[in-house]
Amino acid sequence: MKVPFLDLKSQYQQIKMEIDREIQSVIDSCAFINGPATKNYEKNFAQYCGVKYAVGVANGTDALHLAIRAIGIGKGDEAITAPNTFIATTEAITLAGATPVFVDIHPATYNIDVSKIEAKITAKTKAIIPVHLFGQPADMAPILNLAKKYDLKVIEDACQAHGALYHGNRVGSFGDVACFSFYPGKNLGAYGDGGAVVSNDEEIARKVARLADHGSLVKYQHDVEGVNSRLDSIQAAILNVKLNYLDQWNERRRNNAYLYNEFLKDVEGVITPAELENTKSVFHLYVIQVENRDELMIKLKEEGIGTGIHYPKALHQQPAYEYMGLKAGSFPVAEQCVSRYLSLPMFPELTEPMIKTVCDAIKKYVA
Ligand SMILES: *Cc1c(COP(=O)(O)O)cnc(C)c1O
């Protein structure tokens, strides 16, 4: 049995009638940009996250960049984040003119190690940007306490965690502002690029909406220079349909993760993901750690099993950040994790026999 890493087609087949109808209705209306479909989706997505405002933007990277700018972080400022995230997190900081500062991750949760943040706070620190990596909420309570103590803003990078719960509330509802990506492979994915910024702060939401539309809230009145970063109506209409299924799809991801955990629990040399107490991860990715990762990946591929590595290097190990001068050993936990991570097939439509196939193959080659 072949097991793909990701299968977007089978999900489309389930909802094809609804999706096709909604796409056609946007085309019939010809309201392609800033039309009712986008407004409607913004309202529904805000409600889903448990916040007052959502602003659709062109992608998750722009969501981060515009949120950082809207909150007033820029030149000379520092923003703290984890080194094992996707580069979009730090690109957004740099693009806004600020400097990313890394804090190592927790060895069990793979999210920022909250016990190591305080030591990195300086007079220039203006924000903490926790990333809810792989769908698991970062430990928000201590982060919010530190932010309060040092008067910092909190910007959630929730691009991998649509619908995840921390102490009963959805991610995206904790920070001053939070950012989502609707890249097709994300838990809530469009059929192209898309993103959103959510907040309970009307002023921040207004500023993001203005920056995203050429610094303008009233046609041809440009209060500031912005960018062109809008969520187009066709993507919004698709997301509106898919939002209704998100909880059910996330629940299936969680069940799949528990099946993996069960089948792999006695396999020596395989570390399965932990879930923080009082949180509900939405398993955007199911990531194990193994010593012989690269070989295992090749063997699984030979058996028709797709896997991925998220991500092969910590950001300070990337050529783009060589200028920071952060040597090997700067973030030992993140460095060790990225050398051992392997992402197994994970999507809602994955079946138990598929998961069993993957785990049996792993058992054959790990030992
Ligand atoms: C996907 C992702 C982004 C960027 O989103 P795009 O829509 O691809 O621009 C940012 N941060 C994290 C953690 C992501 O996974």
| Residues 197-250 pLDDT 10s | 999 999 999 999 999 999 999 999 999 999 999 999 999 999 999 999 999 999
For residue 305, name the pLDDT band (cuts at 50, 70, 90). very high
Q: Which amino acid is at 191?
A: Y
Residue nearest to atom 2 of ligand 1 (CA): 159
For residue 260 and ligand 1, the question of a CB distance below 6 A is answered with no
The answer to whether 67 and 210 have CB atoms below 8 angstroms apart is no
**Within a 10 A sphere around the Cβ of 145, how many other Cβ atoms?**
11
Strand-pairing partners, residue 305, are 3
What is the average pLDDT score of the chain? 97
The answer to whether 265 and 361 have CB atoms below 8 angstroms apart is no
Residue nearest to atom 7 of ligand 1 (CA): 60
**The pLDDT of residue 367:** 65
Kindly state the DSSP code that residue 308 receives in the 8-state scheme. Answer: B
CA of 181 to the centre of ligand 1 (A): 5
How far is residue 340 from each of residues 176, 261, 293, 336, measured CA to CA in Å?
Answer: 34, 17, 6, 7
For residue 265, name the pLDDT band (cuts at 50, 70, 90). very high
**The pLDDT of residue 276:** 86
**DSSP E strand stretches across 135-251:** 153-157, 165-166, 169-170, 177-181, 195-199, 216-218, 221-222
For residue 34, name the pLDDT band (cuts at 50, 70, 90). confident
Residue 333 has pLDDT above 90, yes or no: yes
CA of 50 to the centre of ligand 1 (A): 21
3-state class (DSSP) for residue 153: strand
What ligand 1 atom has the least distance to the C-alpha of 88? 10
Residue 257 parent element (H or E):
helix 246-264
Q: Which of 59, 61, 81 to mutate to test the pocket of ligand 1 (most atoms within 8 A of CB)?
A: 61
Average pLDDT rounded to a whole number, residues 314-330: 97
Q: What pLDDT, in 10s, does the model give residues 76-86?
A: 999 999 999 99
Residue nearest to atom 6 of ligand 1 (CA): 60
Q: Kindly compute the dihedral angle of the four CA atoms of residues 65, 71, 75, 77, in this order, to the nearest 10 degrees.
A: -110
Residues 68-106 as b/e (b if ≥16 CB within 10 A, e otherwise) read: bbbbebeeebbbbbbbbbbebbbbbbbbbebebbbbbbb
Q: What pLDDT, in 10s, does the model give residues 8-17?
A: 999 999 999 9
Domains and CATH numbers, the chain: 8-243 (3.40.640.10), 246-366 (3.90.1150.10)
For residue 86 and ligand 1, the question of a CB distance below 6 A is answered with yes
CA of 88 to the centre of ligand 1 (A): 6
Residue 113 has pLDDT above 70, yes or no: yes
Residue nearest to atom 10 of ligand 1 (CA): 88
